[in-house]
Structure 1
């Protein structure tokens, strides 16, 4: 073999190595961006998870507060008893109003009498 042929093989080997280096760099640069994208997605998911957890805690507190307020409200039977008592009171007030009508009439007649006496 002649030195020119050796140089041809050496140049081909070096060119192949350079091409392999460029290919490795090209394909591995995608891995970096892919890993960066995965890290950014992971960060975003962590942020969303922490926001969701804080909202869940907030909603839990609100639900507990509402449950505490509902415990103080009357139940169905108590409400029914209150309605019955109110209707009984309403009936008694109607009877009382009927009994007060004659007293109102007496007061009006007395006022008319006093007004007539004041005119004289």
Structure 2
């Protein structure tokens, strides 16, 4: 017996492979189509179209610009407040001012007591001058 020619053996293997492929596709083709459609659906939900992407980016650009403007305004306000607070007294200065005011109150009470006799003299002098003016 002679071996079949090389070309025939190759063709026979090719036909067998095609037949096996056709049997596989007949058995599992619908499942493969279903899986590929599910994969395409999953990919489509994960990715957006170019127009949707550009619309989202432009919306974010607008929001980003607004946020930058707000941050700039807040920075300006903070720097103005810092400048105002630099001129205000600190805690120790306020405490010393309170102590000085307390001392001044005590001195004013003492002056008030010292001025009572002067006020009495002033009233008597005014009464005397009024009596002199009536004569």
TM range (shorter): 0.5 to 0.7
1:39, CA displacement in angstroms?
1.2
Which residue number corresponds to residue 39 of structure 1?
Answer: 54
Which residue number corresponds to residue 13 of structure 2?
Answer: none
Whether 1:97 aligns to 2:112 is yes
Cα deviation 1:70-118 (Å, max 9, x = unaligned): 1221111111111001111111111111111111111111111111122
| Counterpart Cα distance in 1 of 2:105 and 2:85 | 28
TM normalised by structure 1 equals: 0.67
Runs of 4+ aligned residues of structure 1 deviating over 4 Å after TM superposition are none
| Counterpart Cα distance in 2 of 1:115 and 1:57 | 73
Please, which of 80, 87, 108 is the counterpart of residue 72 of structure 1?
Answer: 87
User: SS at 2:89's partner residue?
Assistant: coil
Which residue number corresponds to residue 107 of structure 1?
Answer: 122
TM normalised by structure 2 equals: 0.60
Q: Quick check: 70-79 or 42-51, which moved more?
A: 70-79
RMSD: 1.6
Structure 1 stretches lacking a partner, 5+ long: 1-32
| Counterpart Cα distance in 2 of 1:98 and 1:41 | 80
Whether 1:57 aligns to 2:69 is no
Structure possessing the higher radius of gyration over alpha carbons: 2
